[in-house]
């Protein structure tokens, strides 16, 4: 594996890359079993002759909360080891100064799908994601890129970016990896206290219970209420949102609606200072 930190080194490493497919896995580091799945998928897609590029860059531009950025876990050496173990060919670990000009003035903003859920609660977040991913696409020029489905809205927005900006890149979504308790694996989990960890799986359990109620005939409004009430019983939590939307357009459902899928029941919940997101897709 070649480990590079500058754009110039990245270009040099890519010149010698062979094979038809170049597969990019963008990450913010603090890699875990979920990222390992993305990297393994990338390796499969690239085949033995293709090239897998992983980036580890804690993108300051997508953080709307300074404390979240400063406390975000960083484990560069462990990250590099995991990339090596998963068959990455080129690992790009730039500094913020390498990535961004001090007087940068371009934005890449998606204006429709970002209005709901996390986009409504974290102003500028998805514009920061689109900016860094579009830069990585330009630097790496991959044929394919792999993202986790855990960040469902992010993946939908990036698909829209690829379509609307004509990037000749195929995006692949990898299913959420969960602990046996049901808790979605996330870099932020390592900041949970022992007690928060005990309660955190209840978020997914609440969403699953809500989805089952909806499928059994509850309206969208009642489903959201069921999930809200369940989450409110989890000690030490504060709800950021519980919402049900169309999973392709992210349009909210009519209050009394009982529409056919594909729908998304999603929530963001603060466990103390840590914000966890999760969702259930309702496909029928
Ligand atoms: O999902 C993430 O880890 C980040 O949002 C991404 C796509 C790497 C962009 O910084």
Residue 258 included in any domain: yes
Q: Which residues constitute the domain of residue 109?
A: 2-174
Atom 5 in ligand 1: residue holding the nearest Cα: 129
Which one of 141, 174, 207 terminates a domain?
Answer: 174
- Give the CA radius of gyration of the chain: 19
Using the structure block, give the residue that is written with the tokens 């005990």.
Answer: 198
Which ranges in 88-151 belong to alpha helices (H)?
96-99, 117-121, 125-140
SS3 271: strand
The enclosing domain of 124 has a CATH number of: 3.40.50.620
Which one of 148, 174, 200 terminates a domain?
Answer: 174
> The whole model's pTM is what?
0.97
Which one of 174, 204, 229 terminates a domain?
Answer: 174
Q: Which residues line ligand 1 (CB under 6 A)?
A: 26-28, 59, 62, 129, 132-133, 151, 154
CA quadruple 67, 71, 232, 184: dihedral sign: positive
pLDDT > 80? residue 256: no
Containing H/E element for 237?
strand 237-246
pLDDT > 90? residue 19: no
Average pLDDT over residues 22-45: 98
The enclosing domain of 258 has a CATH number of: 3.30.1300.10
pLDDT of residue 259: 80
Q: Are residues 56 and 166 in the same domain?
A: yes
Q: How many domains does the chain have?
A: 2
pLDDT tens for 133-171 read 999 999 999 999 999 999 999 999 999 999 999 999 999
Q: Are residues 170 and 53 in the same domain?
A: yes
Query: Which band of pLDDT confidence, cut at 50, 70 and 90, is reported for residue 243?
Result: very high
Atom 8 in ligand 1: residue holding the nearest Cα: 27
pLDDT > 90? residue 258: no
pLDDT > 80? residue 257: no
Q: Phi then psi for 2, rounded to 5 degrees?
A: -100, 130
Angle between helical axes of 125-140 and 7-15 (0-180°, round to 10) = 40
Q: Are residues 239 and 122 in the same domain?
A: no
Q: How many A from CA of 225 to the centre of ligand 1? A: 31
pLDDT tens for 178-213 read 999 999 999 999 999 999 999 999 999 999 999 999
């Amino acid at each position: 594996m070649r480990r590079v930190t500058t754009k110039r080194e990245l270009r040099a490493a890519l010149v010698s890359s062979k094979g038809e497919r170049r597969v990019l896995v963008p990450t913010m580091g603090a890699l875990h079993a979920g990222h390992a799945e993305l990297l393994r998928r990338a390796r499969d897609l690239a085949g033995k002759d293709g090239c897998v590029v992983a980036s580890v860059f804690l993108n300051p531009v997508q953080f709307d909360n300074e404390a979240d950025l400063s406390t975000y876990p960083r484990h560069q050496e462990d990250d590099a080891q995991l990339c090596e173990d998963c068959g990455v060919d080129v690992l790009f670990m730039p500094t913020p100064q390498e990535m961004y000009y001090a007087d940068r003035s371009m934005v890449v903003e998606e204006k429709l799908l970002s209005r709901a859920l996390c986009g409504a609660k974290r102003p500028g977040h998805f514009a920061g994601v689109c900016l860094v991913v579009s830069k990585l696409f330009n630097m790496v020029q991959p044929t394919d890129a792999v993202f986790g489905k855990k960040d469902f809205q992010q993946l939908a927005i990036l698909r829209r970016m690829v379509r609307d900006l004509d990037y000749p890149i195929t995006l692949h979504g990898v299913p959420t990896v969960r602990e046996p308790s049901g808790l979605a694996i996330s870099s932020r989990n390592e900041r949970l206290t022992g007690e928060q960890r005990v309660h955190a799986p209840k978020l997914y359990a609440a969403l699953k219970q809500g989805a089952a109620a909806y499928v059994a005939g509850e309206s969208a409004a009642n489903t959201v209420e069921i999930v809200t009430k369940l989450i409110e019983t989890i000690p030490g939590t504060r709800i950021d949102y519980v919402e049900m939307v169309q999973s392709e357009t992210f349009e909210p459902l009519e209050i009394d609606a009982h529409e056919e899928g594909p729908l998304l029941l999603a929530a963001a919940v603060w466990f103390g200072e840590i914000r966890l997101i999760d969702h259930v897709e309702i496909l029928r």
